[in-house]
């Protein structure tokens, strides 16, 4: 999910503190949870729950339960299927006509109409709102007119600098129809429309966006009940949900923990129902099989982990390449993750059908001698290298291992720097307050080459945390978007291979998720996005 270098002027972020491990149980309990409610391991969101301003998994996982979108992604394949949309058509891949199904409502009972999408997208794209996901609307005609200017030092919007408040490429035809005109043909445009940024919004949102972020009103199978920062987020099944598959459970509680081990302890004690990613302590020696019996599942997901160089850290690309070659990915996977990762040889997840092999080439191959020789050609790094990560997930062991590889091979002092939780960590990244290197991850929004390349590495893109900018890369992905079939795939492959020259982010590994669940639930399923498919979950009583 994407991130922007701009600071939001409208929506405040959550104040965070050290998280207390929550506990609960199956059956009715002190918190008032019914026997048909499930508990899921959650985490602290970076910002309030506004779709246009949500760009990390802690808030995104919640919003994907609270919202239905124009399209939904198949849990197994990730391929898009119409949901709120009845039809999405175009004769030229440039002007798209979107027709909505009748009968969809927001959780406040108001109807979902074409204006609900057009107004939401215009609000998200308007520069004065400084939303983190505004970049996703760049392909629409008139986007530049609503963006305006931003102060180069502060990143804040210059009041009155936007030439328009709405994009010329969005037009309402009638209550159930609107058109989207793009700046150039893009055949894969409909695939994006199940991503959080493209959610519709009710009219009540515009009265007080900040208040809405504390209690979002969506369109999905679950409605928002409450959010207690550092404790939990509570959802309830929406009785008037218009989707084909209705929830079998009464609701879900996403519990926030200080770390993965605390959550896993509760999982073993049946005090937590679903943990989408087990900690490394449980993976070692297949301990989870002893602890959980057959209550686990394993699947490849579109989640990819990297190390990014901070924008303030000007480093010779050869140093980046040498650091990459000094990392023994397979050994770390074998010893720390017990094989529950796949070494990355490029920047696109292998779950994407068109993913290419070995886009990174020799630079993602462990070769200490070559790494030393390449590093010797550079001026080197004078200061110790800090590798920053969020401490509320299970990163310390692999961070220490990576630092040890770098220090042993290149004799660069390297130390891991923990930050209390993901929300705080992402604020530091978003506000460009980190130096050195830091862990980054990408949970795909939709299964395409474009989604792993453009939002992360295109100039000014929403998740371009290292501020990478390259004219050739931008040109190639632009041409790829306008192309179709094999021609488009070849252009995306060329753009990905170009990243090896500059190494803006070091590919580490792709996740093979091992999830666990309690005796209280059955039919637990993970999607290809690493999220819990709550529509499939049932309780045992």
Domains of the chain: 301-512 (3.10.105.10)
Q: Which of 12-26, 266-280, 425-439, 462-476 has the lowest mean pLDDT?
A: 12-26
pLDDT at residue 460 in the model? 87
Report pLDDT digits (tens) over 398-427: 999 999 999 999 999 999 999 999 889 999
pTM of the model: 0.86
Over range 71-81, report the average pLDDT: 93
> What pLDDT, on a 0 to 100 scale, did the predictor assign at position 16?
30
Return d(Cα 194, Cα 84) in angstroms, integer.
10
Residues 158-185 have pLDDT tens digits of 888 899 999 999 999 999 999 999 999 9
**Residue with more model confidence, 331 or 155:** 331
Pairing mode of beta strands 538-539, 505-517: unpaired
Q: Report whether pLDDT(3) > 80.
A: no
Task: Report the 10 Å Cβ neighbour count for 439.
Answer: 21
CA nearest neighbour of 190 among 538, 437, 450, 2: 450
pLDDT by residue (tens digit) across 197-239?
Answer: 999 999 999 999 999 999 999 999 999 999 999 999 999 999 9
Q: 405 vs 447, which has greater pLDDT?
A: 405
The answer to whether 181 touches 166, Cβ cutoff 8 Å, is no
Q: What is the pLDDT of the chain when averaged over all its residues?
A: 91
**Nearest to residue 202, comparing CAs of 132, 119, 133?**
119
Q: Which helix (H) or strand (E) holds 170?
A: strand 170-174
Q: Highest mean pLDDT: which of 99-113, 152-166, 429-443?
A: 99-113
pLDDT value of residue 141: 98
Lowest mean pLDDT, pick from 178-182, 380-384, 506-510: 380-384
Per-residue pLDDT, 32: 53
| Number of helical (H) and strand (E) elements in the chain, helices listed first | 15, 19
Tell me how far apart the alpha carbons of residues 3 and 55 are, in angstroms, rounded to a whole number: 6
Collapse the DSSP code of 232 into the 3-class scheme (helix H, G, I; strand E, B; otherwise coil) and give the result.
strand
3-state helix, strand, coil in the chain (%, to 5): 30, 20, 45
Q: What is the pLDDT of residue 9?
A: 31
Q: What number is the average pLDDT over the span 308-327?
A: 92
Least confident of 27-31, 204-208, 244-248, 271-275: 27-31
Res. 83: pLDDT tops 50: yes
* Whole-angstrom distance, CA of residue 449 vs CA of residue 353: 9
The string of DSSP letters for 382-418 reads -SPEEEEEETTSS-HHHHHHHHHHHHHHH---EEEEE
């Amino acid at each position: 999910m994407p991130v922007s270098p701009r600071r939001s002027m409208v929506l405040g972020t959550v104040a965070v503190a050290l998280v207390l491990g929550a506990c609960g149980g199956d059956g009715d309990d002190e918190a008032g949870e019914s026997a048909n409610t499930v508990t899921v391991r959650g985490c602290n969101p970076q910002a309030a729950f506004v779709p246009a301003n949500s760009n990390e998994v802690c808030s995104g996982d919640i919003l994907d339960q609270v919202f239905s979108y124009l399209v939904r992604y198949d849990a197994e394949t990730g391929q898009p299927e119409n949901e709120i949309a009845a039809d999405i058509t175009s004769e030229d891949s440039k002007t798209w006509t979107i027709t909505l199904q009748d009968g969809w409502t927001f959780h406040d009972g108001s109807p979902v109409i074409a204006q609900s999408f057009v107004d939401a997208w215009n609000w998200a794209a308007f520069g004065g709102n400084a939303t983190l996901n505004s970049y996703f609307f760049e392909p629409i005609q008139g986007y530049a007119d609503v963006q305006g200017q931003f102060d180069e030092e502060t990143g804040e919007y210059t009041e009155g600098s936007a030439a328009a408040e709405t994009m010329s490429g969005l037009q309402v035809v009638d209550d159930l129809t609107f058109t989207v005109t793009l700046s150039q043909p893009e055949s894969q445009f409909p695939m994006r429309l199940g991503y959080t940024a493209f959610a519709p919004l009710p009219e009540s949102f515009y009265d007080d966006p900040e208040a809405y972020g504390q209690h979002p009103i969506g369109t999905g199978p679950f409605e928002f009940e409450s959010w207690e920062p550092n404790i939990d987020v509570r959802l309830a099944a929406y009785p008037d949900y218009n989707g084909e598959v209705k929830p079998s459970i009464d609701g879900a509680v996403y519990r926030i923990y200080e770390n993965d081990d605390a959550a896993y302890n509760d999982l073993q004690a049946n005090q937590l129902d679903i943990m989408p990613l087990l900690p490394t302590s449980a993976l070692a020696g297949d301990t989870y099989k002893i602890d959980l019996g057959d209550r686990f599942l394993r699947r490849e997901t579109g989640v990819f982990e990297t190390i990014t160089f901070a924008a303030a850290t000007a480093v010779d690309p050869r140093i980046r390449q040498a650091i990459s070659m000094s990392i023994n990915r397979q050994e770390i996977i074998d010893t720390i993750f017990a094989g529950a990762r796949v070494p990355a040889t490029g920047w696109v997840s292998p779950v994407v059908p068109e993913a290419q092999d070995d886009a990174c080439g020799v630079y993602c191959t462990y070769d200490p001698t070559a790494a030393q020789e390449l590093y010797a050609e550079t001026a080197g790094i004078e200061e110790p290298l800090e590798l920053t990560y969020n401490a509320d997930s299970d990163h310390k062991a692999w961070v220490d291992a990576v630092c040890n590889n770098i220090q042993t091979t290149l004799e660069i002092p390297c130390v891991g720097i923990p930050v209390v939780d993901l929300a705080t960590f992402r604020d530091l990244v978003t506000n460009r307050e980190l130096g050195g290197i830091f862990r980054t991850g990408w949970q795909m929004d939709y299964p395409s080459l474009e989604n792993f390349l453009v939002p992360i590495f295109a100039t000014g893109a929403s998740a371009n945390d290292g501020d990478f900018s390259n004219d050739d890369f931008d040109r190639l992905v632009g041409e790829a978007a306008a192309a179709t079939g094999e021609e488009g795939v070849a252009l995306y492959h060329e753009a990905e291979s170009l990243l090896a020259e500059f190494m803006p982010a070091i590919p580490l590994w792709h996740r093979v998720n091992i999830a666990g669940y309690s005796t209280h639930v059955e039919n637990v399923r993970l999607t290809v996005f690493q999220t819990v498919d709550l529509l499939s979950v049932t309780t045992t009583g």
